[in-house]
Amino acid sequence: MSIGTANRIRKAVVPAAGQGTRLYPLTKVQPKEMMPVGPYPAIDWVIQELAAAEITEILVITGPGKSAIEAHLDPQEGRLARADLPLWLTEFDSSRITIYFTRQNPPGGLGEAVACARQFVGDEDFVVALGDSVIISEQAAFTRRLLDAHQTSPAVATLGVQPIPPEKASSYGVIEVAEEAEGRLVISNVVEKPEPDQAPSKLAICGRYVFSPEIFAKLNDLQAGRGRELQLTDAIAALATSDRLVQAIPLAPEELRLDVGNLVSYSQAFVRGMLSHPAIAPSFREYLLRLAVHLQDSSQPDPDRTTTDPA
């Protein structure tokens, strides 16, 4: 199936209203989406990925305490303000991208956040990219692949997924797979943060989605779910269990998904971000290697301590 320009997906929604309590006190004042992932704030990585997928309109859903995101992306405060892209995105035609902001206040779950985008989306298919999930992939290509898979199928939802160890199931939306065909997984159900022994598979939603506007009807009907919040996963489950095609595309083995969610996952994201920067990576990698040697054997030199020879 070829994709005409008229049907090309051009809108994306970036939920960024969550309070980031698992990163307190780092995120008491600073939004977690502004936390550095290597040389750039997390939100910049997400926008770069959307730009690489030729998205031209982005709605960022912010919330209380999130004005730094608007200040970072746009010097003008306020709703529906236009933003210039950060300078490092020069390889993309930044004049083609417009960034808008709206507020979810108080935040009441990812389902409610996406529901805030109904007017922005209109009757077009659209991307959802979580502002605290960074995907490091060659040419920032993951969302592009997700879009291609969505637009060449009759799916009403296409989800990015990643393998997880079973004990991590309770941190993610986990998919149930009905069948696999040509690299796509047909989904029969999704469960938000199941206990490991209840998880329907070892594949978790990785924070990237493509939806048809049909999702809004399901969001409208949502009841409070896990954590007493309106869960996007429950709206997807409603689509999957009503005979609509919902499919998943896995991350490629070389693609990394990093989560600015808790201190451990954030620290990993920071290190990986540094290692992906061409100018910084060589010396940072060498430092890490020397540190690893020292951590394994404390008699080896500590790279952060300079010892002076008394002689």
Q: Between helices 281-296 and 263-275, what is the axis angle to 10°?
A: 130
End-to-end CA distance of the chain, in Å?
75
| 130 binds ligand G1P per the rule CB under 6 A | yes
Q: Distance (Å, rounded) from C-alpha 10 to C-alpha 60?
A: 14
Query: Residue 56 — φ and ψ, nearest 5°?
Result: -115, -15
Q: Nearest Cα to 30, choosing from 54, 55, 66?
A: 66
| 37 binds ligand G1P per the rule CB under 6 A | no
| 13 binds ligand G1P per the rule CB under 6 A | no
Which strand (E) or helix (H) includes residue 275?
A: helix 263-275
Classify residue 81 as exposed, middle or buried by CB count within 10 Å of its CB (0-12, 13-18, 19+).
middle
Among 20, 38, 173, 250, binds ligand G1P (CB under 6 A): 173
| 207 binds ligand G1P per the rule CB under 6 A | yes
Contact string (CB under 6 A) for ligand G1P, positions 214-233, x = contact: ------------------xx
| 251 binds ligand G1P per the rule CB under 6 A | no
Classify residue 92 as exposed, middle or buried by CB count within 10 Å of its CB (0-12, 13-18, 19+).
middle
Judged by CB, which is closer to ligand G1P: 33, or 74? Answer: 33
Residues 143-172 that bind ligand G1P (CB under 6 A): 172
CB of 280 to ligand G1P, least distance (A): 26
Judged by CB, which is closer to ligand G1P: 48, or 133? Answer: 133
CB of 296 to ligand G1P, least distance (A): 32
CB of 100 to ligand G1P, least distance (A): 22
Among 23, 158, 259, 269, binds ligand G1P (CB under 6 A): 259
| 235 binds ligand G1P per the rule CB under 6 A | no
302: Cα within 13 Å, side-chain hemisphere: 7
Judged by CB, which is closer to ligand G1P: 126, or 172? Answer: 172
Q: Distance (Å, rounded) from C-alpha 42 to C-alpha 37?
A: 6
CB of 243 to ligand G1P, least distance (A): 22
Q: Distance (Å, rounded) from C-alpha 290 to C-alpha 148?
A: 42
Q: Which residue is nearest to ligand G1P (CB)?
A: 173
Name the CA dihedral angle for 26, 32, 37, 43, rounded to a multiple of 10 degrees: -150
Among 62, 261, 270, 273, binds ligand G1P (CB under 6 A): 261
Give the binding site for ligand G1P (CB under 6 A): 18, 110, 130, 133, 172-173, 192, 204-207, 232-233, 259, 261
